[in-house]
Amino acid sequence: MKKCIIPDGYQSALNLHETQIAIKTVKDFFQNLLSERLNLLRVSAPLFVDPSSGLNDNLNGIERPVSFGIKEQDDAPAEIVHSLAKWKRYALKKYGFQMGEGLYTDMSAIRRDEETDNIHSIYVDQWDWEKIISRDQRCMDTLKDTVRNVYKVLRKTEKYMSIRYDYIKEILPEEIFFITTQDLEDLYPDCAPKEREYMITKEKGAVCLMQIGDLLASGIPHDGRAPDYDDWMLNADILVYYPVLDIALELSSMGIRVDAVSLASQLQKAGCIKRADMPFQKAVLNDELPFTIGGGIGQSRICMFFLRKAHIGEVQSSLWPASAVEELTRKGVAIL
């Protein structure tokens, strides 16, 4: 486990029972408003997929998916999803969604190789969403407009929770600040990527960090990004400053999805050209899928932020190292 930091004197304002009620309050309000503002319909989604389909999220390419054999199908392999980044685009076509319409779903994943700490768990729960756009809408203006809409939902959720719970004060700024990874590197050339994120987010309060995945002028990427769903020139993370832990907290990752040109280029850059032969990637290269924008919004991260919790285990059930559980118990942190 990476270093877990519990602030001196920290005490949750809610007990376990009250926390469960508050989690539902946050989730209900946020997802209802998000679906309304982005014109999204809730759909059912898979927990596992066929690895040969190319539908699983490969993340940074080194994380091992949880896999198992299906007895009834001669032990045919299946993989627990890392996310539904690619499946959603396929589903929009299969389910007959039209231009300007979108879907969202509750995504549950297991990331067995995750290094856990205050904000990371091997269990991942998020709202995965995806929306059909036109070819002409594959541009920075579309990305920024969508980010602003998501951010407005975040601000309204904070306002709503501050009314429901007296201890919650509004801290999100009125506007979100936009910056590319290259501009951020130019601003803080002597800092590591995560240090840059912290510095800009603490200064601005809420930041949209764009163009993640490709090499920067320094010769290294700001962060890893799978090459076969986001267009690296048209993606973004939403980061907010979280004073409880004095960190930059990522709440959402999103992007305009790859077209045939950007997919071919990014597979080449990532050294993953063999993925071009997989069904999903073939469909993109052959222009058989709609152009889309989509992303993931962490459910536990959202709850943690709006309820002002110090550890993600306070808002989700997972497994933690025994030493971490002992330390959290000693400091009075009640995990689920």
Strand partners, 208: 178, 238
- CB burial class (10 A; 0-12, 13-18, 19+) of residue 132? buried
Catalytic amino acids?
57, 111, 126, 237, 250, 253
Assign residue 332 a region: left if phi > 0, alpha if psi is -120 to 50, beta otherwise? left
Rg from Cα positions in the chain? 20
Strand partners, 110: 123
Tell me, what DSSP letter sits at residue 100?
T
Q: Do 194 and 165 form a contact (C-beta atoms < 8 A)?
A: no
Tokens matching residue 95: 């389910």
Q: Do 291 and 134 form a contact (C-beta atoms < 8 A)?
A: yes
Centre a 10 Å sphere on the Cβ of residue 163 and count the other Cβ atoms it contains: 10
Distance of alpha carbon 162 from alpha carbon 164, whole angstroms? 6
> Which helix (H) or strand (E) segment is 130 a member of?
strand 123-132
Tokens matching residue 33: 């408003």
State residue 21 phi and psi, 5-degree precision: -65, -45
Pairing mode, strands 177-180 and 123-132: unpaired
Reference 184, options 158, 204, 170, 162; nearest CA is: 204
Centre a 10 Å sphere on the Cβ of residue 282 and count the other Cβ atoms it contains: 13
Distance of alpha carbon 298 from alpha carbon 32, whole angstroms? 15
